[in-house]
Amino acid sequence: MPASRKKSTAPHHPASANCPHPKGILIPIGGHERKAEVSEEEAADRPDVAPELILQRFVDEVKGPILVIPTASEEAEASGEEYVAIFQKLGAGPVKVLNIQERAEANDEKNLKLLEEAGGVMFTGGDQLRLTALLGGTMLQRRMKERYTHERFVIAGTSAGATAMSTPMIYQGRNDAGMLKDEIHITTGLEFLHDVAIDTHFVARGRIVRMAQIIATNPACIGLGLEENTGVVITKGRELEVIGDGLVVVVDGMNCSSTTIHEVKPGEPFTIRDLRVHLLSRGQHYSLPIVEQMHV
């Protein structure tokens, strides 16, 4: 059991009757998640290692078959087969792969039927822009959003698969980029999580500055930085539970006092003052301070 389950005192915005909480569960993962349990000897020497695999938590949350979507990967077939083997080893029920490589495939009735039969989906890592370019605006994306909103449907993703869950979505920018205006590029993600920007490999690749630039462009957006082998279980569209070995970094600019991002020229450094930053480890809970809205 986690040693601490304290909950953030972030302000709460009550939902209206027209904006119901989504009934589904999101599990974005920061990448490089462990694929196998450590031995008892290793665990004794590594108190920082979480006792439960993140992928095991996903398997436990899914009620029904799992559908692996390796579209983001350059080696999609191999990536899909890898996750099938992992999930079967972790005791999952039926596991199938839906390898979308053309937009037409995301509107195909046979593929939509596979989605209907699944209790949850797993997006592998790779390139998040492939996910939005191939799935955005398709029947497959729409049906996933509908099921996430109205059913106990579980959507997990690692690395690029996690980044694509949110809107806005980061799709370009070096690890050391972000200090200069326009070094970071964003677009619309798959829209499961609104007004939140997810970034992965967050601590290992030093990505807090590029997240700060995204927040500076619109402080209504919350930054969610996930370290490797670390994730969050999101319920009701806003309630976070941290899982895994590392830290989750929340960057909140809603009450920032000033920014120069709108004044400086492209290629110049920007300023933002009075950001709030939270560092959360496993077992911690946090309520995203976002305004409720429809998810479909």
pLDDT score at 290: 82
Q: Known catalytic residue: 201?
A: yes
pLDDT score at 40: 63
Residue 276, Cβ neighbours under 10 Å: how many?
A: 14
Tell me the CA end-to-end span of the chain in Å, nearest whole number: 35
Structure tokens at 25: 């569960």
pLDDT score at 44: 63
pLDDT score at 37: 80
pLDDT score at 292: 66
Of 79, 159, 166, 281, which residue is the catalytic one?
159
pLDDT tens over the chain, length 296 residues = 444 454 544 444 444 445 679 999 999 999 999 998 876 666 666 777 877 899 999 999 999 999 999 999 999 999 999 999 999 999 999 999 999 999 999 999 999 999 999 999 999 999 999 999 999 999 999 999 999 999 999 999 999 999 999 999 999 877 677 899 999 999 999 999 999 999 999 999 999 999 999 999 999 999 999 999 999 999 999 999 999 999 999 999 999 999 999 999 999 999 999 999 999 999 999 999 987 654 45
Structure tokens at 118: 């699944």
pTM: 0.90
pLDDT score at 52: 84
- The answer to whether 48 touches 245, Cβ cutoff 8 Å, is yes
- The answer to whether 106 touches 153, Cβ cutoff 8 Å, is no
- The answer to whether 249 touches 291, Cβ cutoff 8 Å, is no
Q: Known catalytic residue: 4?
A: no
Query: How far apart, in whole angstroms, are the C-alpha atoms of residue 250 and residue 279?
Result: 7
pLDDT score at 43: 64
Of 183, 191, 227, 228, which residue is the catalytic one?
228
Q: Known catalytic residue: 16?
A: no
Domain limits, the chain? 25-33+49-283
Structure tokens at 149: 């909103």
Of 73, 166, 194, 201, which residue is the catalytic one?
201
- The answer to whether 270 touches 260, Cβ cutoff 8 Å, is yes
| Domain 25-33+49-283 fold | Rossmann fold (3.40.50)
Structure tokens at 236: 């009701």
SS (H, E, C) the chain: CCCCCCECCCCCCCCCCCCCCCCCEEEEECCCCCCCCCCHHHHHHCCCCCCCCHHHHHHHHCCCCEEEECCCCCCHHHHHHHHHHHHHHCCCCCEEECCCCCHHHHHCHHHHHHHHHCCEEEECCCCHHHHHHHHCCCHHHHHHHHHHHHCCCEEEEECHHHHCCEECEEEECCCCCCCECCCCEEECCCCCEECEEEECCCCCCCCHHHHHHHHHHCCCCEEEEECCCEEEEEECCCEEEEEECCCEEEEECCCCCEECCCCCCCCCECCEECCEEEEECCCCEEECCCCCCCCC
How many whole angstroms from its chain centre is CA 6? 22
* Contacts (Cβ under 8 Å, ≥6 apart) of 254: 219, 220, 222, 276, 289
